[in-house]
Amino acid sequence: MYMPAQETSSRVPKYIAIRDAIAHEIESGQWSTNTKLASERVLMEQFATTRVAVREALLALEMDGLIYRLDRRGWFVRAPRIIYRPQSTKSFNQYVTEQGGVPSTELISAELVQATAWDATHLKVNVGDDIYSMWRRRSINGRPAVVEHLRINASLFPQFLEQNLEDSITILMAEHYQRQLTRAHISLYPTVLSEQQAKALHVNVGSMGLYICRTNCDQNGVITDVDQEYWLHDVLDLHFEASE
């Protein structure tokens, strides 16, 4: 597999040039969502190349989430993933709406419970302290996108369960409790969805998901809540700006 390095002005592998050309057209907005790509035969002619190179290019584009395949019907431009900036304090409703999607939220359950060892470590409270435990499902354009489990330090938010918990919690905490959230710490990784999460998201058990755990603080650095999110794997494109 190793190829010795050569300082030669060789050509780009054909399939990468095709991939790049089509990616550029999609990313620059020349083709709208669900547009059908030219057939493989037409692409072969257009790029004066082989079917193998065209196939490799299309598979690379599929892998990058730019196109999808419908059996016997060809290749189509995918709806762009929702850009999610975990460092931002924008609410789900805000960033989905800004990107042309229709967000919705269902409360699955909300209750006052006693902090377990895990809760105590993550919320910096004592085992047995009161916390709120909430599950919600959030959808984009009617398609379930994420199930989330929030654990909230109850001592900071009296009468919390009497609020409308299908609205933005960030906005509720800011406007009703004068706690302006900042994201203290984020951990994330791809993971297999458990049965419970898969069912809530209407996908097969064993489907891939993206796990995001956020710890939020208020303006004084007090930990307000820990939010575990289980996303479908193909919904988000996460963006970070690294400020050094």
Instruction: Check: CB of residue 119 under 8 Å from CB of residue 111.
Output: no
Q: Please, what is the minimum distance in Å from the beta carbon of residue 126 to a copy of itself?
A: 14
Contacts of a copy of itself in 11-30 (CB under 8 A): 11-12, 16-17, 19-21, 23-24, 27-28
- Closer residue to a copy of itself in complex, CB, 40/183: 183
* Phi/psi of residue 19, nearest 5 degrees: -50, -50
- Chain centre to alpha carbon of residue 113: 29
Contacts of a copy of itself in 111-140 (CB under 8 A): 111-114, 116-119, 121, 130, 133, 137
Instruction: Check: CB of residue 233 under 8 Å from CB of residue 207.
Output: yes
If one counts every other C-beta atom within 10 angstroms of the C-beta of residue 115, the result is 21
Applying CB under 8 A, which of residues 52, 102, 192, 222 lies at the interface with a copy of itself? 192
Q: Per rule CB under 8 A, is residue 222 in the interface with a copy of itself?
A: no
Q: Per rule CB under 8 A, is residue 39 in the interface with a copy of itself?
A: no
Q: Per rule CB under 8 A, is residue 69 in the interface with a copy of itself?
A: no
* Phi/psi of residue 13, nearest 5 degrees: -55, 140
Whose structure tokens read 């931002």? 88
Total residues interacting with a copy of itself, rule: CB under 8 A? 84
Q: Per rule CB under 8 A, is residue 87 in the interface with a copy of itself?
A: yes
> Helix or strand or coil: residue 224?
strand
Q: Please, what is the minimum distance in Å from the beta carbon of residue 30 to a copy of itself?
A: 11
- Closer residue to a copy of itself in complex, CB, 102/192: 192
User: How far, in Å, CA of 207 to CA of 182, rounded?
Assistant: 31
Q: Per rule CB under 8 A, is residue 99 in the interface with a copy of itself?
A: no
Structure tokens, 8: 């030669």
Q: Per rule CB under 8 A, is residue 155 in the interface with a copy of itself?
A: no
